[in-house]
Amino acid sequence: MIALLDKIANGASGIVRITGQVAAWSGLALVLLVAFNVLARYLFSFGTVALQEAEWHLMAVGALFGMAYGLNQGGEVRVDIFHSRMRPRARAAVDLFASLCMGATALIIAWLSIAYVQSSFAINEGSPDPGGLGYRYILKACMPVAFALLALQNIAMTAEHLRDLIRPRPLAED
């Protein structure tokens, strides 16, 4: 049972780490795009609506796919004043409950956002601004995928917390 939980946790976390690296590289692309837009605007009086919209498109993709990676890397916020004083099994139980709640919420958001993407696709939604980017449904399609990825990370964390409840590991600070 424990080997199966480890396999599930490692597989799901591996997928999230790969997509997290892609999200991190989108941050570099965003910085380069903003720098290009600023230099082009001030040095050459050149700028387009499409390039400005591409900035927030990259930021949205980085934020959406970065949330699962942040959770994967332990970047979540918790009330450590209580959490650090708990025994390992109590910590695992609280973390298990939190993972289940977050995973369910992520799946609900992913499911509900599919209709949002479908309606955007149905009308071939693009930018309302002249010269803006088209195919906005592609950007909107990142929402259900990113929240499904967040749910996947929560599956990995749920497996880890179940493993810790079944066989708690001694923690360094205990």
Ramachandran sector of residue 107 (left: φ over 0; alpha: ψ -120 to 50; beta: rest): alpha
For 151-163, what is each residue's pLDDT tens digit?
989 988 888 888 8
Integer Cα distance of 93 and 80 in angstroms: 15
Each residue's pLDDT expressed in tens, for the chain with a length of 174 residues: 667 777 777 777 778 878 888 888 888 999 999 999 999 989 998 888 888 899 989 999 998 988 888 888 876 766 677 777 888 788 888 889 989 999 999 999 999 999 999 999 999 888 888 888 888 888 999 999 999 999 989 988 888 888 888 875 655 544
Residue numbers of the domain that contains 54: 2-76+83-166
Domain-embedded: residue 57: yes
For 76-109, what is each residue's pLDDT tens digit?
766 677 777 888 788 888 889 989 999 999 999 9
Integer Cα distance of 162 and 168 in angstroms: 9
Domain-embedded: residue 171: no
Domain-embedded: residue 173: no
**Amino acid (1-letter code) at residue 34:** V
Integer Cα distance of 165 and 170 in angstroms: 12
In angstroms, the first-to-last Cα distance of the chain is: 26
Q: How many structural domains does the chain have?
A: 1
**pTM, 2 dp:** 0.81
Eight-class DSSP state of 127: -
Helix locations, 73-141, DSSP H: 80-83, 88-122, 136-140
Domain-embedded: residue 113: yes
